[in-house]
């Protein structure tokens, strides 16, 4: 089982370059964060086991409160735990010995990894090009959909290799670890945007962020679209924050209209 190829080494190199170019996520620096492990076994030095159809239920995970204040100034980099999983799988393929009967399978796997890497890169380049926090917040549902789609594709690639995540207790395969880590990152992201919105609400000049009428309409439209289209994907907290932001922007529009009316009366 396995293959070593120039394409495997190339993918590993691409992932190394991506990690060097992107700042570290605060979730990765936390001692409470799970290690970004794809495949794990407490009884095997290789850390790999055969795929099983049985799964276990994951606990709900929230970021430790005493560490949240250090994350409020920074949005977590949502691509890091995806690239961690890709990196480990690419390195696994690179390490495995080569058998002719498995060569075709692993060449297909390598191509699937390359294609997924391109899609991840394209999505996050566009997302991170948007520097306005409220506009990023208005993409919450779309971000959730895309990130979970990337993880499911990676699950399928991993399964194609006959590999599965193994529960730390050794009791058997568990659901992919990315789910609990992803829930934590979503919570951290909410902390960042809540903090940003609270700061904007208490500062008198905050409405300058959405002063232009065209910006107000664009942001209100994006918020409404995201909340409605991705309703089934959003958590209650995410939906509440989108509604709160909508009210904030709408109030900004009302106040700007009132100010414009007063100026018109004074002329």
Q: Round to whole Å and give the CA distance between 104 and 110.
A: 10
Instruction: Select the more confidently predicted residue: 55 or 204.
Output: 204
Three-class SS of residue 180? helix
Reported in sequence order, the residue ranges of 86-222 that DSSP labels E, i.e. its strands, are none
Q: Work out the number of other CB atoms within 10 angstroms of the CB of residue 135.
A: 16
Alpha-carbon distances, residue 85 vs 18, 51, 222 (angstroms) = 13, 17, 31
User: What's the token pair of residue 223?
Assistant: 């918020």
Give whichever of 134-148, 163-177, 184-198 has the largest mean pLDDT.
Answer: 134-148
Percentage with pLDDT > 90 across the chain:
29
| Mean pLDDT of the 239-248 span | 94
**Cα dihedral 74/78/80/84 (nearest 10):** 150
Inform me whether the pLDDT recorded for 105 exceeds 60.
yes
pLDDT tens digit sequence for 9-44? 555 555 555 444 444 443 433 333 333 333 332 223
**Radius of gyration of the CA atoms of the chain, in A:** 22
The band of 76, judged by pLDDT with boundaries at 50, 70 and 90, is: confident
Per DSSP, the residues of 48-89 read --B--S---PPPP----HHHHTTTTTS---TTHHHHHHHHHH
């Amino acid at each position: 089982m396995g293959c070593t190829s120039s394409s495997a080494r190339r993918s590993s190199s691409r992932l190394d370059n991506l990690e060097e170019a992107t700042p570290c996520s605060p979730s990765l620096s936390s001692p409470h964060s799970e290690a970004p492990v794809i495949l794990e076994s407490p009884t095997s030095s290789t850390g790999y086991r055969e795929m099983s159809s049985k799964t276990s239920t994951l606990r709900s995970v929230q970021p430790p409160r005493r560490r949240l204040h250090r994350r409020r100034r920074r949005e977590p980099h949502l691509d890091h735990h995806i690239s961690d999983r890709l990196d480990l799988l690419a390195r696994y393929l690179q390490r495995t010995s080569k058998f002719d009967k498995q060569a075709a399978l692993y060449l297909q796997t390598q191509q699937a990894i390359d294609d997924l890497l391109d899609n991840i890169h394209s999505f996050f380049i566009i997302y991170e090009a948007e520097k306005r926090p409220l506009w990023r917040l208005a993409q919450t549902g779309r971000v959730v959909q895309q990130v979970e789609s990337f993880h499911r594709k990676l699950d399928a690639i991993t399964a194609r290799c006959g590999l599965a995540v193994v529960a730390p207790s050794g009791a058997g395969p568990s659901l992919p670890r990315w789910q609990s880590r992803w829930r934590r990152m979503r919570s951290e992201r909410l902390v960042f945007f809540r903090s940003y919105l609270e700061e904007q609400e208490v500062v008198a000049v905050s409405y300058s962020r959405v002063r232009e009428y065209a910006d107000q309409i664009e942001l209100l439209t994006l918020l409404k679209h995201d909340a409605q289209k991705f309703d089934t994907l959003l958590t209650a907290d995410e939906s509440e924050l989108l509604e709160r932001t909508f009210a904030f922007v709408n109030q900004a529009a009302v106040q700007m209209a009132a100010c414009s009316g007063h100026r018109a009366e004074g002329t």
